[in-house]
Amino acid sequence: MDNFEYVSAPHRVVFGRGTLQELPSMLEKIKAKAVLVLCTPQQISTAEAVKAIIGDAGVSIFSEATMHTPTHITEKAMLAAKDKGVDGIVSVGGGSTVGLGKALSIRTGLPHLCIPTTYAGSEMTPILGETENGRKVTRRDPRILPTAVLYDVDLFKTLSVDMTVYSGINAIAHAVEALYATNKNPIIDLLACEGIRTLCSALPLLQADGNDPAARHQALYGAWLCGMCLGAVDMALHHKLCHTLGGMFNLPHAETHVVLLPHALAYNASAPAAAGAMAKLAAALPDSAGDPVRGINALYQRLGIRLSLQGLGMPETGVDEACDVAIANPYKNPRALEREGIRELIRRAWAGETAKAKL
pLDDT of residue 9: 63
Task: Write the CATH number of the domain with boundaries 12-156.
Answer: 3.40.50.1970
Do residues 23 and 53 lie in contact, with contact meaning Cβ atoms separated by under 8 Å? yes
Residue 285: partners with Cβ closer than 8 Å, 6 or more residues away? 196, 200, 292, 295, 296, 298, 299
- Residue 358 clears pLDDT 70, i.e. is over it: no
- The three-state secondary structure class of 109 is coil
Asked whether the predicted pLDDT for residue 51 surpasses 70, the reply is: yes
What is the domain partition of the chain in residue ranges? 12-156, 164-351
Q: What is the pLDDT of residue 136?
A: 83
Name the CATH superfamily, with its identifier, for domain 164-351: Dehydroquinate synthase-like - alpha domain (1.20.1090.10)
Percentage of the chain modeled with pLDDT above 70 = 98
- Rounded-to-integer distance, Cα 176 and Cα 21, Å: 34
Measured CA to CA in angstroms, residue 202 lies from 116, 144, 195, 205, 217 at distances of 18, 30, 11, 5, 9
Q: What is the band of 313 on the pLDDT scale with cuts at 50, 70, 90?
A: very high
Global pTM reads 0.92
- Give the other-Cβ count within 10 Å of 232's Cβ: 24
By 3-state DSSP, what share of the chain in percent is helix, strand and coil, each rounded to 5? 60, 10, 30
Instruction: Report how far residue 160's alpha carbon sits from residue 157's, in angstroms, rounded to the nearest whole number.
Output: 8
Give the integer Cα–Cα distance in Å for 274 and 335: 8
Per-residue pLDDT reduced to its tens digit, 94-139: 999 999 999 999 999 999 999 999 998 999 999 999 999 878 888 8
Chain-wide mean pLDDT for the chain? 94
Decide the pairing of beta strands 35-38 and 58-62: parallel
CA-CA distance, 161 to 149, in Å (whole number)? 24
What gap in Å lies between CA 240 and CA 322, rounded to an integer?
Answer: 11
Strands 12-16 and 112-116: unpaired
6-43 residue pLDDT tens? 777 667 899 999 999 999 999 999 999 999 999 999 99
CA distance 328 to 335: 16
- For residue 4, what pLDDT band results from cuts at 50, 70 and 90? confident
SS3 140: strand
Which pLDDT belongs to residue 8?
72
Query: 302-306: long-range contacts (C-beta < 8 A, 24 or more apart)?
Result: 302/204, 303/165, 303/203, 303/204, 303/207, 304/207, 305/165, 305/169, 305/258, 306/352
CA gap 210, 249 in Å, rounded: 31
pLDDT for res 329:
78
Residues 167-188, mean pLDDT to the nearest whole number: 95
CB contact at 8 A, 178 and 232: yes
